[in-house]
């Protein structure tokens, strides 16, 4: 595949957010709303500071009904390139015991239904909102020509779960056109269990060979900054950087291996 011209699409960054998670939410060690709000503010500040070549606009979608006034002010006062920033806030009815992955799928469905379905011209770059993708501009530039669903599917024999998830679709960063979201992901929150990454892999993997619009591997290695909510792991700590290096090298020397 050759590269898509940068100006052929409107690239929209969708930041998913839960500022005040339910106390009963499992697999979430980063519960403090003030700390989480700081994470979201830091990430939004970073994305707004990106030079042209990054996303043209931002949609911040939050599902706990928390006060977003400080983020709205940030989007006006610290927006050097004048990116359009929209905020969507609601209170989810997704039961906490379904897990934070299903909660995030609920956010994606809400963003699609209320905003994105009416914008077929956009390429949505969905990021877990507390995280910074340090090389987001490079990721956008790497979008293959004709790709309508672009993500990292992992499936490697023998190694199992040694690198942190196999038969797995990494949902920290995904790119998709709204029509492909509607085709492959919308409504999956009703079918997935706690591990949405494995559920989405199993649901979409059979379609890859017959649908040229699905690009199942990122051409560049996404570089994250932030704290994993499930483990409190720092993505810039040595273990995370080691996994990142292994995957980065594998992406270059063995691009057909979904590591």
23 falls within a domain: yes
User: Is this prediction's pTM over 0.75?
Assistant: yes
d(CA 232, CA 29): 6
154 falls within a domain: yes
95 falls within a domain: yes
More confident residue, 88 or 9: 88
Summary mean pLDDT of the chain: 91
122 falls within a domain: yes
CATH of the domain at 73: 3.90.550.10
Domain span at 149: 7-253
pLDDT band at 70 (very low <50, low <70, confident <90, very high): very high
177 falls within a domain: yes
End-to-end CA gap in the chain: 20
CB neighbourhood size of 249 (10 A): 12
Residue 6 sits at φ, ψ, to 5 deg, of -55, -35
Task: List pLDDT tens digits, range 91-139.
Answer: 999 998 888 899 999 999 999 999 999 999 999 999 999 999 999 999 9
The confidence score (pLDDT) of residue 26 equals 66
29 falls within a domain: yes
Task: Report the number of distinct structural domains present in the chain.
Answer: 1
The confidence score (pLDDT) of residue 159 equals 64
32 falls within a domain: yes
Task: List pLDDT tens digits, range 169-206.
Answer: 999 999 999 999 999 999 999 999 889 999 999 999 99
228 falls within a domain: yes
pLDDT at 158 exceeding the cut of 80: no
The confidence score (pLDDT) of residue 255 equals 81
pLDDT band at 6 (very low <50, low <70, confident <90, very high): very low
Cβ atoms 152, 169 nearer than 8 A: yes
The confidence score (pLDDT) of residue 12 equals 98
């Amino acid at each position: 595949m050759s590269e898509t011209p940068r100006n052929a699409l409107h690239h929209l960054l969708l930041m998913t957010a839960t500022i005040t998670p339910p106390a009963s939410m499992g697999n979430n060690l980063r519960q403090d709303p003030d700390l989480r709000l700081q994470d979201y503010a830091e990430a939004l500040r970073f994305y707004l500071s990106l030079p042209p070549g990054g996303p043209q606009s931002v949609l911040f979608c939050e599902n706990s009904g928390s006060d977003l006034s400080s983020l709205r002010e940030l989007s006006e006062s610290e927006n050097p390139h004048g990116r359009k920033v929209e905020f969507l806030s609601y209170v989810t009815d997704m039961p906490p015991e379904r897990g934070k992955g299903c909660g995030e799928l609920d956010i994606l469905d809400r963003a699609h239904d209320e905003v994105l379905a009416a914008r077929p011209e956009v390429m949505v770059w969905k990021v877990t909102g507390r995280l910074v993708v340090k090389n987001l501009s490079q990721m956008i530039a790497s979008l293959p020509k004709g790709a309508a669903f672009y993500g990292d599917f992992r499936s490697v024999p023998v190694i199992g779960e040694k690198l942190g998830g196999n038969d797995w679709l990494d949902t920290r960063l995904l790119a998709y056109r709204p029509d492909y979201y509607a085709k492959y992901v919308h409504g999956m929150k009703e079918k997935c269990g706690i591990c949405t990454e494995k559920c989405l892999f199993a649901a979409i993997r059979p379609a890859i060979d017959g649908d040229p619009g699905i690009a199942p591997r990122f051409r560049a290695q996404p570089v994250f900054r932030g704290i994993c909510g499930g483990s409190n792991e720092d993505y810039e700590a040595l273990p995370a950087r080691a996994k990142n290096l292994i995957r980065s090298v594998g992406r270059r020397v063995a691009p057909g291996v979904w590591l």
